[in-house]
């Protein structure tokens, strides 16, 4: 099985290296931005701007902190992408030719998912490193709340991923590949359909909170929006938070099982 994992790793290496470099670069970028807020131009022109009474500078710092924080796992989760493996396998007809080797369907599935597990672990490690550095520099909290948000990212990504994998392992032509690549829409469309009424009511509440002609400080707007988010969506997130690891494992298991079934299928 090490040989199979090595093979898949060689095929994803081309994607992993730039994504990994970008992720590390993003950590460095975050550090530089926070240093600038501490000692540089951001401090001079945003935080210490005498014309800014709304506290927009401070708001910018917090937003950049969160953008920097959650950008890392998004990038790093791409490390779990095995679509590039399937695409690379098409010209060599691997879906057929792999059957000449003494490897069971289970072993094949384990090798594909090993790459995904390694990608997920790297994503978590990068996230922890980045979050710890950012929290230390900005004084923001980096704890279970932020970690659960990252796991939520992973859940959404894995939900798309297991659908895509189930299609991808059956792919034998470029045309089928395009269908497989679009298959996450099967998850995305129902999710949007379910979320739409909630989002609509949330938008209405925002309109009520912030009428067009009202003079409200930026910081006040951020604070009230955050409160509304917490009350509308945070409740759901906090309810599933204790089970996020189970959901991640369940999505992994579901994807694994569907991939295994797809690999076992024979040409008719």
What is the rounded distance in angstroms from the CA atom of residue 189 to the CA atom of residue 95? 29
211: phi then psi, degrees, rounded to nearest 5: -60, 155
Binding of another protein at residue 170 (CB under 8 A)?
Answer: no
The residue from 208, 215, 235, 268 that contacts another protein (CB under 8 A) is: 268
- Rounded to a whole number of angstroms, the minimum distance from the CB of residue 108 to another protein is 11
- What DSSP designation does 242 have? G
The footprint of another protein on residues 211-250 (CB under 8 A) is none
The footprint of another protein on residues 52-91 (CB under 8 A) is 88-89, 91
The footprint of another protein on residues 90-149 (CB under 8 A) is 91-94, 96-104
Binding of another protein at residue 3 (CB under 8 A)?
Answer: yes
Binding of another protein at residue 175 (CB under 8 A)?
Answer: no
The residue from 7, 43, 170, 172 that contacts another protein (CB under 8 A) is: 7
Query: DSSP states of 81-115 as a string?
Result: --HHHHHHHTTTTHHHHGGGSS--HHHHHHHHHHH
Binding of another protein at residue 173 (CB under 8 A)?
Answer: no
- The piece of 10-18, 144-152, 218-226, 244-252 that touches another protein (CB under 8 A) is 10-18
Alpha helix locations (H) across 40-172?
Answer: 41-42, 56-77, 83-89, 94-97, 105-138, 144-168
Please identify, using beta-carbon distances, which residue of 89 and 146 lies nearer to another protein: 89
What is the rounded distance in angstroms from the CA atom of residue 60 to the CA atom of residue 64? 6
Please identify, using beta-carbon distances, which residue of 2 and 175 lies nearer to another protein: 2
The footprint of another protein on residues 150-169 (CB under 8 A) is none
Rg value, the chain, Cα? 22
What is the rounded distance in angstroms from the CA atom of residue 63 to the CA atom of residue 138? 12
**Cα end-to-end span (Å), the chain:** 27
Binding of another protein at residue 6 (CB under 8 A)?
Answer: yes
- The piece of 4-12, 52-60, 182-190, 223-231 that touches another protein (CB under 8 A) is 4-12
The angle, 0 to 180 degrees and rounded to 10, between the axes of the packed helices 2-39 and 56-77 is 170
Q: Which is nearest to 128 in space by CA: 156, 158, 153, 150? A: 150
Interface with another protein (CB under 8 A): 1-4, 6-7, 10-11, 14, 88-89, 91-94, 96-104, 266-268
């Amino acid at each position: 099985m090490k040989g199979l994992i090595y093979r898949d790793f060689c095929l994803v290496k081309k994607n992993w290296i730039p994504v990994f470099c970008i992720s590390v670069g993003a950590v460095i970028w975050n550090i530089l931005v926070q240093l600038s807020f501490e000692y540089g131009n951001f401090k001079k022109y945003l935080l210490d701007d005498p014309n800014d009474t709304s506290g927009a500078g401070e708001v910018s710092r917090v937003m950049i902190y969160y953008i920097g924080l959650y950008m890392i796992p998004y990038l790093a989760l791409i490390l779990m992408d095995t679509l590039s493996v399937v695409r690379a396998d098409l010209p060599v007809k691997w879906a057929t030719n792999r059957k000449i080797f003494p490897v069971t369907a289970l072993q094949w599935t384990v090798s594909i998912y090993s790459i995904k597990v390694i990608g997920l672990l790297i994503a978590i490690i990068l996230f922890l490193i980045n979050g710890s550095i950012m929290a230390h520099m900005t004084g923001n909290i980096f704890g279970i709340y932020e970690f659960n948000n990252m796991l939520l990212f992973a859940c959404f990504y894995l939900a798309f991923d297991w659908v895509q994998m189930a299609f991808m392992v059956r792919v034998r032509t470029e045309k089928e590949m395009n269908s497989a690549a679009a298959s996450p829409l099967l998850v995305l469309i129902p999710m949007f359909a379910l979320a739409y009424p909630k989002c609509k009511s949330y938008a209405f509440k925002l309109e009520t909170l912030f009428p067009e002609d009202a003079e409200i400080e930026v910081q006040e707007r951020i604070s009230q929006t955050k409160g509304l988010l917490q009350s509308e969506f945070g409740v759901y997130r906090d309810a599933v938070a204790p089970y996020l690891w189970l959901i991640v494992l369940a999505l992994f298991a579901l994807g694994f099982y569907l991939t295994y079934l797809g690999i076992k299928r024979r040409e008719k």
